[in-house]
Chain A
Amino acid sequence: MLNSIESNHTSRRTFLKASGALSLSAFFSASEAAPSIARSLSDGPDTRPNLLFLNLDQLSHMALSCHGNTHVNTPNIDRLAERSVDFSKSYTPDPICCPARASWATGHYPSETNVAVNNRPLRADLPDYGQWLGQNGYQTVHIGKWHVPGRPLHKSFQLVPHNSHPQGEYSDNLVALSFEAFLANRDTTRPFFAQVGLMNPHDCGNAPRTAEHPFPFPHLKDQLPPFPPNFEFDLREPEQLKQMHNGLMKFTEDWTEENWGHQAWLYYRMVEMVDVNVGYILDTLERSPEHENTVIIFTSDHGDANGHHRMLFKDNFYDTSSRVPTMVCFPGKLRAGVVDETHLVSGLDFFPTFCDYAEIDPPKGLKGLSLRPLLEQKPTQWRSYLHAQSKASGRMVVDEQYKFIRYYGSETTQLFDLKNDPWETKNLAFEDSHQARCQRMAAEIDRLEATLDNVELPLSLSKRS
């Protein structure tokens, strides 16, 4: 796993690095997110690009019309895709909120951040991207959802005009308006790093309310999606996944195809709802003077099962939950309308990418890679394996064709051929002909694991013995 990126900005980077080192010595003891002045006026205007990290919650890669889904219409995200490099093989570091978001923010795996499951506090000694960019001359602002436990927002961002964790149905409009208010009022002498977190389509979690009532619009029944093609699947799953599956099946066992279709219909309406908010944010930016100097990274913390594998929600490694959209746009500077179907991309890559565009060195030891050489078609040696974690005890590794899943404490593993079985219906780990591949991919998990700076997790979580 190598990455060789030649910096074009050595002098500035060297200067900023020295300034950063000085200020970081006192970083956690005193000023927290207060920006250090990494540049002097003699450097001239700071023309480094603005960085907009626009993230959604629970948006599957497959839940967009630009990705071929005919049950949903997302003209605004599609518009962004037309202006972006759209990474097709993009996976979350962990398919649930807090671990994924802590990994975005720190560039470390959940087993390293301590946020190995929801609501465990982040390790205090890991800087996050808000702090790092703020220390290096950026105006940092957070708007919307954060959900990184143990890291209060005021310790990471200089401005937090909107701190929400409510339902997106009545808050996402306000996130978009708050971004507009930020642009209207911001300090234009410095570039900005804006983390804008929209909630929807997360709120599909009201599934228990769905089955008790028929779909209330008989004349719209033809809009209800049918069972997905992988509704029936190989039930031989690792124990941790089977437990979750059984729990879900308890309240979905009586569901009819209409109930499942109703649930999926609601999910897609939530995706369309938030698409309007994404459109408003894009319109606001595109009509502002900041537009041409702003790098946008658009993604989601994880996806949603949405009936696939007869499941709901997230917290599993199937593609519907772990594969997310990742689009990067830099108007006039990057290729537009390009789908990258080759490179394996992780949510761990955003922090180093932001640092790369900010012309600063990232903190030492980040596990992700800057996407910049891919985006700019510069020579680089990219990763051959992509890793993710789940439920503290789960590990997933993906290569150019296969996905291998292993949970500590479970005998059962999973292997899927993503090229020939994209719906992940057939677990090849039970077939003799694939044992060598399973062993090779398991060894890759072990190889990575040996390099991680893992925290001690309770045995009840990690299942290690």
Chain B
Amino acid sequence: MHTSFDIYPSYLRHFPNGIAASNPLRLRYDIHAMRNYAYRNEGGKRVGPFPQVRPEGSLEISSESSVNGVKKMVIQHSREWSTWTGQEPASKQDITAQIHYADDAIGTLLNWRMSYTSSPILPVKSYRYDQLGPMQKHGRVKNRTIELTAARKGMPNMELGTSHSVTSLYTLIERFQLNKAQATTVDYLDDLTMLRPGLELTPLPDDTIEIEGTLTDVHGYALVGPAILPLFIWMDTHSNVLAVIGRNVAYTLTSAANR
């Protein structure tokens, strides 16, 4: 069994059917994170460590049909975690975005508008956490340069040089779901802001895993290279992107439907 399945298979869901590639679609993922370790006492002997996996957010992707080779999607990416395993969540971060991207093999980013909000969830009323409003940005890729423009006047803008077509987690998932992705080298814009250039999108050996009691054939790709821990993208025979699994985090598909 592949290394990426060692702690997450129980979170994967079985999907008996695929969805129509030509229609708008909606995908929903739960986020599970490997936090710390636990040890157990078995017959007076300390055994472990056992990784502790926790639900820590969700990702929703809603894409529309292609118009003149340009596609549009809306994403809602929420991460919420506790300071310590087992505690109530203490911090929540949301990225919402509208993305225009190419109807090509990697979902090349064209332009996007995003909002980032970081919300502490704290027990202390006097805590002045509400002073940071949402941060809004526009992004576009032009002439091998990513331009990140702050919506608020006076805030810095950024330009990031690229060497390859620029993709994202969201558009890659959509491309794989529609069976349009191909192995290539990409520049990866993590969370639509952090550039991890020169990553390989490389095929993985086929595998079989048991999902909800059903032996399921899966095929996949890995996003691997400098400045990233490998991300393993696994699909079933219907091309459903069942999971995107990193070293310490897994996005597991809970719902795939045409809108």
Interface residues of A (CB under 8 A from B): 34, 73, 152, 154, 158-167, 169-171, 173-174, 176-178, 180-185, 203, 205-206, 208-209, 212-213, 216-217, 219-220, 266, 269-270, 272-273, 275-277, 280, 283-284, 286-289
Contact = CB atoms under 8 A, between A and B. Distances in A.
B230 A167 contact: no
A213 B3 contact: yes
Contacts of B196: 273, 276
B120 A162 contact: yes
Given A169-B246, A170-B248, A206-B247, A160 B129 contact: yes
A269 B248 contact: no
A183 B118 CA distance: 13
B53 to A, nearest CB: 11
Given A162-B118, A174-B79, A182 B248 contact: no
Contact of A209 (B6, B122, B154, B230): B6
B118 A161 contact: yes
A103 B249 CA distance: 31
B249 A170 contact: yes
B247 A169 contact: yes
A165 B155 contact: no
Contacts of A167: 33-35, 247-249
B247 A275 contact: no
B127 A269 contact: no
B221 to A, nearest CB: 12
- Band of interface residues on B: 35 or more
Of the listed residues B81, B82, B156, B193, the one surrounded by the most CB atoms of chain A closer than 10 A to its CB is B156
Contacts of B82: 165
Given A163-B91, A283-B158, A203 B248 contact: yes
Nearest to B150: A184
Contacts of B229: 169, 266, 269-270, 273
A169 B249 contact: yes
Interface string B158-197: 1000000000000000000000000000000011011110
A170 B131 contact: no
Contacts of A277: 194
A161 B132 CA distance: 7
Given A161-B129, A178-B118, A185-B132, A287 B156 contact: yes
Interface in B68-104: 79, 81-84, 90-91, 93
